[in-house]
Amino acid sequence: MPPPFVRPTNIVSQPSMSVITEIRVPPDDFELGQILSLEHASAVELETLVPSGGATVPLFWVYEPVENGFLDTVERYPTVNSVTEMDVFEDRTLFKLDWDATQDHLFECVLENDGQILGATGSAEGWNFEIRFSDREELSQCQDCCEDARISLKITRIYNPTDPEAGPWYGLSEPQREALTLAVQMGYYDIPRGCTTAELANEFGISDQAVTERLRRAVGTFGRYALLTPEPATQMD
C-alpha cells in the first residue's frame, strides 16, 4: 500500500496582492460620461462617491468655464433626479449628482468585481479612472464585463499600491509625495505647527492655496491606499 498522505506543515500561502489600474474610457461609452457633457465645461473631476440609500451619489468638480447649459443638460437626463451646487470658487464649482447608477454598465462592472473607484477626471477627449481591485483576476473579470457591455476600456497602467518601484507610491504623484514629505520634515503636522502653508508654498514656488490643495489630496490619497488596502494572507500551519 502507498504510504498515507501527510499534509506538509508551515506552508506559506501566496499573498493576495491588490492592484491599482488606470483606465481610459470614451465619454460616450458609459452613462455618467454622457450625463456630464463636456461641451459646456472644460473639465470634470470626481471628488468622491457617497452611498445614499441604494444609490451612489457622486460629488464632482466642474472647472471653468461652467456655462448655464451644463446644468440644463445634466438635469434633462432621464436617470438624473437632481443636481445640486455645493461650493463655488473662482476656478471651479462642486456639484452633487443624485443619479440612478444601475443603468451605467461601467459602474456595474466595477462594483460587481469588488472594484473601488479612487479617482476620475473627464475631458472632451475621454475619462481617466483610477480603480483598485483585490487581485488581477477581479480586474480581468471587470475587463470581460466591460467588453460584453461594449465599453472601450483601455488600460494605461497597472501597479501595486505599496511598491514604490512599480508606480505611484501609495497612489501619490511625485508632487504630492514631495509636498507631504516636506510638510512632515518642517513640522507642519506637529503640535504646535513648525511651519505654515505659506512657508511650504515658498519652498515650492507655488501659491498658498495650491500647496494646501496638494497636501489635502496627498493626505486623502495616502489614507485610502495605506488604510483601505487589503492585508496580505498570513502564514498558515
- Of the pLDDT bands very low, low, confident and very high (cuts 50, 70, 90), residue 225 is low
* pLDDT, position 103: 81
- Of the pLDDT bands very low, low, confident and very high (cuts 50, 70, 90), residue 155 is confident
145: Cβ contacts below 8 Å, ≥ 6 apart: 105, 108, 109, 112, 113
Averaged over 208-236, what is the pLDDT?
A: 68
pLDDT(14) > 90: no
Q: What percentage of the chain reaches a pLDDT higher than 90?
A: 17
Helix 174-185 crosses helix 197-204 at what angle (to 10 degrees)? 130
- Whole-number Å distance between alpha carbons of 122 and 226: 26
Lowest mean pLDDT of 43-47, 170-174, 181-185, name the range. 170-174
* pLDDT, position 56: 64
